[in-house]
Structure 1
Amino acid sequence: MSQTGPATKKQRMDVKTIGTHNGTFHCDEALAVFLLRQTDTYKDASLRRSRDPAVLNDCDIVVDVGAIYDESKRRFDHHQRGFTEVFGHGFSTKLSSAGLVYKHFGREVVASATGLELSDKKVDILWLKMYKEFIEALDAIDNGISQYSSQEKPKYRNQTDLSSRVGWLNPRWNESAEPQKVDALFLKASQLAGDEFLGRLDYYANAWLPARDLVLVGLSSRQNIDASGKIILFEKFAPWKEHLFELEAEQGISEDELPFYVIYPDETGGNWRIQAVPVSPESFDSRKALPEKWRGMRDDELSKISGVDGCIFVHASGFIGGNKTKEGALNLAKLALKM
C-alpha cells in the first residue's frame, strides 16, 4: 500500500491537459484534440473546455481559443487579428487549429499510425498528402474561404462533408445545452473526425503509397521495355495517373523524354491494356493517342489492320486499347510510337 499511493499521485501529476473553448464546437478543434491524443506527450491527456483565461493558462496546451499562436508556449489559436500562418510546401490556405496542430505534430501522428520511423521519407510524403486531401479543406471551411469565386453560383448544396457532420452534432438551438452534455457531444465529434482521419491515412499508407512505389519502378525502368523510354509496363494493375505526373515533376523529366503509353493487366488479370498518357491527370487529351485508323475497331478486324494478334478493342478517342496478352499490348504500343 505504501508504494501504491505515491505512484498514483505521480501519475496524476504527469497527466497533461488539453484546453479548447466551450460552447458550440467545430471540426477543426475536434480534430486538433484527437490528433494531439495520438502523440506520446498527450495520448492520455484530459480535456478542459472553457474560455476562462485562468482555466486555459492552467492547461499544458491550448487549441482554437486564447488569441495566441506561439509554439513555444503551446498555444495554437488562429482567430487573432494579424494571423496569417499557412502550411507551406506550396499550400497557401490560412490554417485553422486543425492545420496548426497538424503542421507541428502531424509527422509524429503519421509515423505512429503507420508504424513507420519518423525519419522515413514516406512519413513526409503521407504528411503532405493528408494535408492536401484532408486537412486543407477543414482549414478553409473554418476560416470562411470559399472554394469558388463569388461570381459562381453552386448548382447544389453539400452538407455531407466532415465539417458539416461535426456541426450537426451540436445541440439544436431550441434544446438544452448543459455543459456536460455539450462536452460529451464534443468527444463524439472528436472521435468522428479522428476516425475519418485515420481511415484516410490507412488508405494512403497501404494502398496509395504502394501504387506510388509501383509507378516509380515502372518509370525508372521504362528504357528496359523500349529504348525510347516512351512505354511504361506495370506487371499488375494500380492507379497510376496522379503518381506518374508527380514523379515526372520530381525527377525533372524533360518534355521530349515523357512517356506516351502505359501497359498493364486489366482488373480481371486475364487481358492487358494499353493506355495513352493524358496531357494532365484530368484531361481527355493524350500526349500521343493511339493511331486514328485503329480507333473504334475491335477483335479480328483490329488484329488484321494493326498486324497484331489477340486485339480486343481500341476506344474511338484513341486513349485506350486492349489485347489478350502482354506481348500483344506491347507490340501495339511500339507500333503506335512509329505512326
Structure 2
Amino acid sequence: MSDAKRIKLDTGARPVIVTHSGTFHADDALAVNLLQKLPQLADADLVRTRDAAEIAKGTIVVDVGAEYIPEKHRYDHHQRGFFETFDADHKTKLSSAGLVWKHFGHDILAAHLKVDVSDERVPLLYRKMYDDFVEAIDAIDNGIALYPDATGLPAYKSRTDLSSRVGFMNPRWNEPFDDADLLARFRRASAMAGDEFFDRVDDALYAWLPARDIVVQALKERKSFEGADAQGRILLFDRAVGWKGHIYDLETALEIPEAEKPLYVVYPDESGKWRVQAVPVNSESFESRKALPEAWRGIRDAQLSELSGIPDCVFVHQSGFIGGNATKDGALAMATKALNM
C-alpha cells in the first residue's frame, strides 16, 4: 500500500495539513502544495502553528513537530539525528519538500497525469523531478553549499531561485503584519511553488519523455546509418532534440562501453543547415569529451572549408564545442574527421 493510501480520514471530518507558523520557506510552501494534489487531501484545511496540541490534531504534519514518523504522517526534518536522504544514490538531507516527494511523489504524479501509479512514466518523472527541482529546495533549506569545496567569494549573487523568491514573499522586517496576512502570503507562495513545479512536470511529460525515446533510438542506430562511425561515436538526429538530458543515463542503462560513447551529435538547425556538437563530459559541464579540432576554431565559411578539406563549412565556435555545415553530409564529414584529429 502506498503512503498516500495509508492516510486515514475520520468520517465526516475534513483532513488537516499542519505546518509551522511565522516565516515560511520554499520547502514548506512546496510541500503543502504537493500534498494538496493528492485526492485524499485536496480539500484539506491548512493550519500554520507551533502549538503542540494543534500539531497533534493534524492529519499530516510537515516541517514542524520535531518528528519524522511516516506511519503517523509526521514529516519534520529539524530534529537532532535526522539524516534522511531521497535514496542511496543521493547525499542531500531532505527538507519537508523532499520528504513529501519521497513518500508521496508517485501518487502525486499519478493524480496530476490522471493515470494509475503503475504507469511506466511515473518512476521516470519521480526521479527526474527530485533531481531537477526538489533536491535544490532541500539543499538550500538545510544550508548545503552548491560547491562545498569552493573557497573565496562567488563571482556573482543569484537571488532569483525559487527559494529566494518565496523568501521575498514574507513581510519585510519593518512591515506590520498579523496571522491572517501571513497565512494569505503563505498561500500565494505555496501556489507559486506548486505552479512552477507542475509546469516542470508538464514540460518533462510533453518534451523530455518524447525526447528520451528519440535518443534511445539514435543510440541503438549510431553504428548503422550511412556515414556512421564504426564505434558509434557519432549520434545522428533528423531534427533538433533535447538529447543532453538523456544521453548519460541511457549510456549506463544500455551498457555502452567507454570507447563507444558518443563524442559528437549531428542534427539540423532551425535554418535548415546542419550542426555538429561535441558531447559535454556531463550534463552540467562546458568541457567537451572531445572538442572540435583547435585548428578549426574561430574560422568560418570558405576559409574553414579550405582548411578542413570539407565543402560547405559554415563555422566552428572558438571554444570548439559546436560547428556548422550547410549540408548533412558535410556535418557528418566534420564529425568523422574530428574523431581522428
Alignment TM-score, normalising by the size of structure 2 = 0.86
Moved more, 19-28 or 91-100: 19-28
Indicate the residue corresponding to 1:321 in structure 2: 323
2:235 is the alignment partner of 1:232: yes
Note the C-alpha offset of 1:95.
1.1
Q: CA-to-partner distance for each residue in 1:163-220, whole Å, 9 max, x for gaps?
A: 2222222233334332222212211111111111112222222223322222221111
Secondary structure at the residue paired with 2:92? strand
Question: RMSD of the alignment, in Å?
Answer: 2.6
Q: For the residues of structure 1 that align with 2:305 and 2:297, how far apart are their CA atoms?
A: 12
Give the fraction of aligned pairs with identical amino acids, expressed as a percent: 53
Q: For the residues of structure 2 that align with 1:187 and 1:298, how far apart are their CA atoms?
A: 54
Q: CA-to-partner distance for each residue in 1:110-149, whole Å, 9 max, x for gaps?
A: 2332345422332222212211221112112222223344
| Cα gap change, 1:255 to 1:17, in 2 (>3 Å) | same
Q: For the residues of structure 2 that align with 1:158 and 1:127, how far apart are their CA atoms?
A: 27
Q: For the residues of structure 1 that align with 2:134 and 2:163, how far apart are their CA atoms?
A: 11
Secondary structure at the residue paired with 1:86? coil
Note the C-alpha offset of 1:291.
4.8
Note the C-alpha offset of 1:99.
0.9
Q: For the residues of structure 2 that align with 1:162 and 1:47, how far apart are their CA atoms?
A: 22
How many residue pairs get aligned? The number is 329
Q: CA-to-partner distance for each residue in 1:297-321, whole Å, 9 max, x for gaps?
A: 5434544555544332344554433
Indicate the residue corresponding to 2:194 in structure 1: 194
Note the C-alpha offset of 1:235.
0.8
| Cα gap change, 1:292 to 1:20, in 2 (>3 Å) | closer
Counterpart mapping for 1:122-137 below 5 A? 122-137=121-136
Q: CA-to-partner distance for each residue in 1:213-248, whole Å, 9 max, x for gaps?
A: 222211111122224322211011023234222221
Q: For the residues of structure 1 that align with 2:186 and 2:285, how far apart are their CA atoms?
A: 42
Note the C-alpha offset of 1:75.
0.8
2:267 is the alignment partner of 1:259: no
Q: For the residues of structure 1 that align with 2:56 and 2:12, how far apart are their CA atoms?
A: 16
Q: CA-to-partner distance for each residue in 1:58-97, whole Å, 9 max, x for gaps?
A: 2211111111111110111111111111111521111111
Counterpart mapping for 1:62-101 below 5 A? 62-101=61-100
Note the C-alpha offset of 1:39.
0.8
Q: For the residues of structure 1 that align with 2:293 and 2:156, how far apart are their CA atoms?
A: 40
Note the C-alpha offset of 1:159.
3.0
Q: CA-to-partner distance for each residue in 1:230-285, whole Å, 9 max, x for gaps?
A: 221101102323422222123221111112321100133x1111223334445555
Indicate the residue corresponding to 1:176 in structure 2: 176
Q: For the residues of structure 2 that align with 1:23 and 1:283, how far apart are their CA atoms?
A: 39
Counterpart mapping for 1:1-339 below 5 A? 13-149=12-148, 151-225=151-225, 226=228, 227-268=230-271, 270-283=272-285, 285-291=287-293, 294-304=296-306, 306-337=308-339
Secondary structure at the residue paired with 1:18? strand
Moved more, 219-228 or 304-313: 304-313
| Cα gap change, 1:307 to 1:16, in 2 (>3 Å) | same
Q: CA-to-partner distance for each residue in 1:4-40, whole Å, 9 max, x for gaps?
A: xxxxxx9981521111122222221111111000011
Return 5+ residue gaps in structure 1 as ranges.
1-9
Moved more, 257-266 or 202-211: 202-211
Q: For the residues of structure 2 that align with 1:161 and 1:290, how far apart are their CA atoms?
A: 34
- Contact map agreement 2:39 2:111 (CA 8 A) in 1: no
Q: For the residues of structure 2 that align with 1:279 and 1:138, how far apart are their CA atoms?
A: 26
The structure whose residues are more often helix, as a share, is 1
Return 5+ residue gaps in structure 2 as ranges.
1-8
Q: For the residues of structure 2 that align with 1:156 and 1:230, how far apart are their CA atoms?
A: 37
- Contact map agreement 2:208 2:245 (CA 8 A) in 1: no
Q: Which amino acid aligns with 2:270?
A: E
Secondary structure at the residue paired with 1:275? strand
Indicate the residue corresponding to 2:5 in structure 1: none
Secondary structure at the residue paired with 1:273? strand
Q: For the residues of structure 1 that align with 2:309 and 2:263, how far apart are their CA atoms?
A: 21
